[in-house]
């Protein structure tokens, strides 16, 4: 098996910001990265490829690669893109690379420049910290209500920069949510679309999986603007 890789990029920002071309490209490059780290013969492999900054920073973080792959795959599924690939790397469970080639705030700026003449991603690229926070808020709520309140206060008082906020949000949603937090966030999300849903009843009795799938379905059908720009719409599926 031979795979050619050059100028690899694995993004740190939520894959919802990527357009379809960028999303599929990252999915391919994650596959190439896994093959390289597993010792598969890569076409054109040389010292330059082995020293690629992305290869260097992800080496030894197999579990994190698996989780990033899940993020990408869940976003693909939300957009109706089929996928059968699976990543089984497990090294350093719970740990993520500590370095960035470009920090998350810069990555968002790079996408703005790249997408000037291209289709945008599912989530509108944020113009300011308030917009960025609105995208991530339910992902944060699912993990820690105290952080949710703290972020909201800092954004409202303009005591956090866009760049710092982007970094903290990316790193926070790498943490797993607990079931209670997920249900709380999903019930808030359901409130945005319950009025257009044909599914009624006591949502407390629904499984988290069903609640998220029905929320996704209703957002797609109604094009509800707030949740259409929510990272949680695919982020929470990673952990179910």
Residue ranges of the domains in the chain? 1-103, 126-239
Least confident of 5-14, 42-51, 104-113, 203-212: 42-51
What local confidence, expressed as pLDDT, does residue 82 receive?
Answer: 93
pLDDT score recorded for residue 195: 87
Residue 162 has pLDDT above 90, yes or no: yes
Burial of 222 (0-12, 13-18, 19+ CB in 10 A): middle
pLDDT-derived band of residue 7, with 50, 70 and 90 as boundaries? low
Query: What percent of the chain stands above pLDDT 70?
Result: 92
Nearest-angstrom CA–CA distance, 198 and 141: 26
| 129-141 and 179-193 helices, crossing angle to 10° | 120
Query: pLDDT class for 5, splitting at 50, 70, 90?
Result: very low
Helix (H, G, I), strand (E, B) or coil at 140: helix
Can you give the pTM of this predicted structure?
0.93
**If you average pLDDT over residues 139-166, what whole number do you get?**
98
Among the residues of the chain, which ranges form H helices?
Answer: 20-37, 47-50, 53-58, 62-78, 104-114, 129-141, 145-156, 162-172, 179-193, 208-222, 225-228, 232-235
Give the SS3 label for residue 153: helix
C-alpha torsion 61→63→66→71, nearest 10: -100
Section 122-126 average pLDDT = 98
180's CB contacts (< 8 A; 6+ apart) are none
Quick check: helix, strand or coil at residue 144? coil
CB 230 within 8 A of CB 135: yes
pLDDT of residue 37: 86
Q: What is the DSSP string of 28-81?
A: HHHHHHHHHHTT---TT--HHHHT-HHHHHHTT-HHHHHHHHHHHHHHHHHTT-
pLDDT at residue 45, rounded to an integer: 52
Res 159: pLDDT? 98
The residues near 31 (Cβ < 8 Å, ≥ 6 apart) are 3, 85
Q: What pLDDT score does 94 carry?
A: 96
């Amino acid at each position: 098996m031979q795979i050619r890789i050059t100028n690899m990029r694995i993004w740190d920002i939520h894959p919802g910001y990527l357009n379809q071309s960028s999303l599929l490209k990252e999915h391919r490059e994650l596959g190439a990265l896994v093959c390289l780290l597993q010792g598969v013969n890569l076409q054109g492999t040389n010292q330059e490829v082995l020293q690629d900054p992305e290869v260097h920073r992800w080496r030894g973080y197999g579990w994190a690669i698996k989780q990033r792959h899940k993020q990408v795959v869940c976003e693909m599924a939300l957009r109706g893109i089929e996928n059968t690939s699976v990543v089984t790397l497990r090294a350093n469970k719970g740990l993520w690379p500590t370095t960035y080639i470009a920090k998350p705030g810069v990555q968002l700026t790079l996408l703005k420049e790249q997408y000037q003449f291209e289709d945008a991603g599912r989530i509108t690229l944020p113009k300011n910290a308030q917009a960025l926070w609105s995208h991530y808020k339910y992902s944060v709520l699912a993990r820690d209500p105290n952080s949710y309140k703290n972020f909201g206060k800092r954004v409202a008082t303009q005591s956090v920069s866009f760049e710092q906020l982007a970094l903290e949000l990316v790193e926070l949603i790498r943490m797993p949510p607990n079931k209670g937090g997920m249900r709380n966030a999903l019930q808030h999300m359901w409130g945005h679309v319950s009025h257009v849903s044909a599914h009624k009843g006591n949502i407390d009795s629904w499984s988290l999986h069903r609640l998220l799938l029905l929320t996704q379905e209703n957002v797609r059908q109604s094009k509800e603007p707030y949740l259409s720009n929510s990272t949680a719409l695919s982020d929470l599926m990673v952990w179910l």
